[in-house]
Amino acid sequence: MAEWLSISDVKKKISETSAEEVTAAYLETIAKSSINGYTCTYDGAIEMAKEADKGEGEGLLAGVPIAIKDNISTKGLSTTCSSKILEGYVPPYDAHVIERLKAEGAVILGKTNMDEFAMGTSTESSCYGVTLNPWDTERVPGGSSGGSAAVVAAGEAPISLGSDTGGSVRCPAAFCGVVGLKPTYGAVSRFGLISYANSLEQIGPMATCVEDIATVMDVIGGHDPRDSTSIDREVNYRDALVDDVKGLKIGVPDEYFGEGVDEGVEKAVWDAIGKYEEMGATWEKVSMPHTKYALAAYYTIAMSEASSNLARFDGTRYGPRHDGENWHVMASRTRAECFGKEVQRRVLLGTYALSAGYQDKYYLKALKVRTLVKQDFEKALSNVDVLMGPTMPMPAFKIGEKVEDPLSLYLSDVNTVPMNLSGVPCISVPCGLSDGLPVGLQIIGKQYDEATIMRAAYAFEQNTDHNKARPAEVI
C-alpha cells in the first residue's frame, strides 16, 4: 500500500534503512501504479540514492526522492513536454532547479505527465494519455501539472515540481488534495524550463504539507544570472513556518465567488475563513473589479507568447522529422503531425493576435488589461495582508467531460490566472471535501511576500485536519 510521507518521514526511514531502500520502494510502487502519473522513471535513481547514502545525510534533501514535471530539463533524462514533437529528446544540461536539487542530495525518481506544453487544466492533452485522479479514477487530476500532483497524492513521490503559467500548480494541487505553491515571478529561475508563456510562468513545488513546500523553496529559490528575470534577494522560506495568524488581515474578493462556483467548494472555503477568524485573524470583503477581464487577457498573452516560443520546434533540431522537398514543407509537416490539437489551436490564435493589423487590437490591449489586473492586487493588498478564495471553482471533473469544449476548460481558470498576470505569490492548501473530492483554499500575497502566505497556510494546517484526508488507496 502506498503511503503519504513528508520529507521528515522520508528522512526518518532513510536513517532506519537507507536512501537506496527508500528509493527502491518508491520505484516499486510506481511500477505497480495504474494512474499514469509518470512519463518515465529515471534509471539513475538508485545510483543517486547510493551517492546520498555515501554522503551521510549531507544536504537539505539528502536521499529524498522527487518527481519532476516533464517540461523541466534533466540532463540524460527524457524531457518531452508530453508532446510527440519532443519524442526522444534528452537534454544535454540540467535546469537550474535540477542543479540545485542535486546539490542538496535529492533523488530524481522520474518525469511526470502533463498537458502538452503545459496547455490545459486537466492533463488530457498529453500525448501519453490522461493521468487518473487518485481520489476517483474516473476524474482528471487537474492540469497542466496533473502528473506531479497525482503522484504525490498517490504516495508515488513525497514531493514534486510543477510549473504554473495560469494555475498549473495550484489547480492540480487542489484537485488532488495536496499543497502547491506558485512563487512570485522571478523567485525561482526558469533556466531550463521549456517555455510556454515565459512572462507568466514559474516553477513551483507540490507536497503533502506546507513545511515541505518551504524546504523545497529553500533549495530551488534564489538568484540565477542565467534567467534575466530572476530576483536577487535572500529568503529563508522555512523561517515563515510560524503557527500564529493573530492580527492577520484577510481580504475576500467577491469576484472569486462568481457564477458557477460549486456549493461544496464555496462552503469549504468559507468554513476555512471562519477558522482563521477563530485563530485570531480578521477578514473583510475587497473588490478586484478587473477580474472579469483577466481570463481574456491571459489567454491572449499566453497564446501570443506560445506562438513565438514554440516556433523553435520545427523538426530541424529536436524530435522527429517528417521530410519534405524543402524546409517549409518539412517544418509544416512535422508541426502538423507532431503537435496535438490544443497546441495547434493556441499557436494559430497566438499568431493571429500578434499579426500586423491585429496586434494593437488584441495583444497590446491585453497588456493594458494586465496592468489593470496588477493594480487591483496592489490596491487590495495595500489594506490587507493576504487574499483568500477558492483555488478552483469546482472539484475535479470527469475525464472527457470538457474535452469537446475548450472554452469551458478555459473558464475554469478564472481564479488562477489573475495572479500570473500580476506576478504575486499564491498557494493552494487542502480545506475540505465536496462530495468526497478535495477542495483547495487559495491564499494570495504581496509580491515577494511568500512568508505571509506560507505562515497563513502553515497555521491553517496545524489547526485543522484537512491535510490528513487522503485517497482510499493510500495510508
Cite the active site residues.
69, 144, 168
Question: Within 10 A of 377 (CB to CB), how many other CB atoms are there?
Answer: 23
Q: How far apart are CA 55 and CA 18, in angstroms?
A: 11
Question: Within 10 A of 383 (CB to CB), how many other CB atoms are there?
Answer: 10
Q: Under 8 Å CB-to-CB from 201, ≥6 apart: which residues?
A: 118, 163, 164, 165, 190, 193, 195, 420
| Residue 373 binds ligand GLN, judged by CB under 6 A | no
**Closest approach of ligand GLN to the CB of residue 120, in Å:** 5
Alpha carbon distances (Å) from 444 to 36, 144, 184, 447:
31, 20, 10, 9
DSSP category for residue 130: P
**Closest approach of ligand GLN to the CB of residue 229, in Å:** 17
Work out which of 30, 61, 68, 119 binds ligand GLN, going by CB under 6 A: 119
| Residue 120 binds ligand GLN, judged by CB under 6 A | yes
Q: How far apart are CA 189 and CA 296, in angstroms?
A: 27
What would the DSSP string read from start to end of 96-128? HHHHHHHHTT-EEEEEE--SGGG--SSSTT-TT
Q: How far apart are CA 265 and CA 242, in angstroms?
A: 27
Amino acid identity at 141: P
- Residue with CB nearest ligand GLN? 168
The grid coordinates of residue 303 equal 497564446
Work out which of 45, 48, 67, 118 binds ligand GLN, going by CB under 6 A: 118
| Residue 162 binds ligand GLN, judged by CB under 6 A | no
Work out which of 218, 224, 413, 449 binds ligand GLN, going by CB under 6 A: 413
Nearer to ligand GLN, 62 or 203 (CB): 203
Question: Interaction with ligand GLN in 187-206: which residues (CB under 6 A)?
Answer: 196
| Residue 449 binds ligand GLN, judged by CB under 6 A | no
Question: Interaction with ligand GLN in 264-303: which residues (CB under 6 A)?
Answer: 302
- CA nearest to 24, candidates 5, 43, 1, 4: 43
Nearer to ligand GLN, 167 or 390 (CB): 167
Cis preceding linkage at 144, omega within 30: yes
Where does this chain touch ligand GLN (CB under 6 A) — which range of 100-108, 112-120, 386-394, 432-440? 112-120
Dmax (CA) for the chain in angstroms is: 71
Question: Interaction with ligand GLN in 233-262: which residues (CB under 6 A)?
Answer: none
Nearer to ligand GLN, 118 or 140 (CB): 118
| Residue 124 binds ligand GLN, judged by CB under 6 A | no
**Closest approach of ligand GLN to the CB of residue 198, in Å:** 11
Phi, psi of 380 (to 5 degrees): -60, -40
182, β-bridge pairs: 426
Q: Are 193 and 223 in contact (CB under 8 A)?
A: no
Where does this chain touch ligand GLN (CB under 6 A) — which range of 113-121, 148-156, 308-316, 443-451? 113-121
- Considering CB under 6 A, how many residues would be counted as binding ligand GLN? 13
Nearer to ligand GLN, 115 or 461 (CB): 115
**Closest approach of ligand GLN to the CB of residue 274, in Å:** 30
**Closest approach of ligand GLN to the CB of residue 93, in Å:** 22
| Residue 304 binds ligand GLN, judged by CB under 6 A | no
The 30-69 site mask, x for binding ligand GLN (CB under 6 A), equals ----------------------------------------
Q: Are 123 and 115 in contact (CB under 8 A)?
A: yes
Chain residues in the site for ligand GLN (CB under 6 A): 118-121, 144, 164-168, 196, 302, 413
